[in-house]
Every structure is written in structure tokens, then in C-alpha cells.
Amino acid sequence: MSTLIATDNSNKLNSHKLLMYIAIGSMTMMFAGWISAYMVRQGQGRWEHIHLPSAFYISTAVILVSSLTIHLAARAHKNKKFGSYKLFLLVSMILGVLFLAFQYSGFLEMYNEMGIKLNGNNAAGEFTYVIPFVHGLHALGGVIALIVVAVSNSIKTKRNKYSSTGIQIAATYWHFVDALWLFIFLFLLYNQQA
């Protein structure tokens, strides 16, 4: 019977975790810049408020559920319940892909049904494309990170090595992406009525 060997030390700040926190800080500053630009442009006038597409509401619910499933995956991995870990990680990946699909659907709804184009005529609409699109790229990166963690942990488990660092970093990033979308969604929702 093989035994898994713990290879991480929970009390130390891993260099990969530190890099993740620096990246999160950088992304926060980038989105703060986008939000600031939105507010400055809105204050300049000639601003047509738009309503958020219904798909954005659904994608918000999906990403919030994915935050729970990634938390459960990380906790299951920490407790060495690898069956539950794999299930929750898979569900998190599926929810991440669903989030991206609903975002895309929202963009199509804005373009086809609401008539919002990226042609310089509606700054509110353009910001409502750009900010969620850039967030979507970060969510796509999160889905890719979850896939990498799943493959990496599968290989390490076969070699009898156990490390929860990868899933901890991926979960931290995913929670950040979730919280960031919630902020963006609420910001856009509030400003569509302002």
C-alpha cells in the first residue's frame, strides 16, 4: 500500500503564492483603472445608459456557485479526500466554462438584440463590452489553471507525492476572479440606473 508524502509547509509563504498575490494586486490596479476611466467618461456627458444583458445575471450566479465548489475542492484535497477533490474540481471547471459561455451570450445579446456596437457611438456600451471581456480573459486563465492543477495533482498522486500548493493558488485566484466579477457586475448594474 503506497503512502502519500506531504511536501508542502502551510506555515511558510510559498514563492508561487507570493507571485499570485502580486499578480492579484496588479490585476486589481488594472481594473481600478478601467473603472476610473468609466466614471471619468460618464462624467463627460453624452452617455447613454444601457441595461445589462440577462445572460450576465445568470453568469453571476454560475460564478458564485463555482466559488463554493472550488472551496470544497481545496478543502477535500487538504483532507486527502481525492475522490471528492476531483469531483469538485471538475464541477468548478465546468462552471468556469459555463460562466464564459454565458458571458459570450451576453455579448451577443448586447450586439444583436440591444444594438450596442463597438463603433465609438456609445461609450457606456463599449465599456460594458471591454471590462467584462478583459475579466473573461482572466476567467479563462483561471479555467486553464484549474486544468493544469488537475493534471499536475494527478501525476503527483501517482508518484506518491502530496502537495496542496497548486490547488491553494488556483483557488485563491479563482476566488479573486469571482469577487472581481461580482464587483464589476454590481458596479455596472448600479451605473445602468444612475
Q: Which DSSP symbol is given to 6?
A: E
* pLDDT (0 to 100) of residue 158: 56
Banded pLDDT at 25 (limits 50, 70, 90):
very high
* pLDDT (0 to 100) of residue 115: 75
What pTM did the predictor assign?
Answer: 0.84
Q: In this model, does residue 7 exceed pLDDT 60?
A: no
The length of the chain is: 194
CA distance 102 to 185: 13
CATH superfamily entry for domain 50-193: Cytochrome c oxidase, subunit III, four-helix bundle (1.20.120.80)
* pLDDT (0 to 100) of residue 157: 54
Amino acid at 2: S
For 149-174, write each residue's pLDDT tens digit: 888 776 655 555 667 888 899 999 99
Q: Give the end-to-end CA distance of the chain in Å, rounded to a whole number.
A: 64
CA distance 165 to 149: 9
* pLDDT (0 to 100) of residue 72: 96
* pLDDT (0 to 100) of residue 178: 96
Containing H/E element for 129? helix 123-158
Cell readout for 164 is 496542496
Residues 62-73, mean pLDDT to the nearest whole number: 96
Residues 18-34, mean pLDDT to the nearest whole number: 92
* H-helix segments, 1-122: 15-43, 54-78, 82-108
Residue 6's beta-bridge partner residues?
162
CA distance 43 to 35: 12
Q: Which residues of 11-49 are buried (b: 16+ CB within 10 A; e: fewer)?
A: eeeeeeeeebeeebeebeeebeeebeebeeebeeeebee
Q: In this model, does residue 111 exceed pLDDT 80?
A: yes
Q: In this model, does residue 194 exceed pLDDT 60?
A: no
Residues 117-129, mean pLDDT to the nearest whole number: 76
The neighbour count for residue 132, using CB atoms within 10 Å, is 23
Q: In this model, does residue 28 exceed pLDDT 80?
A: yes
Q: In this model, does residue 4 exceed pLDDT 50?
A: no
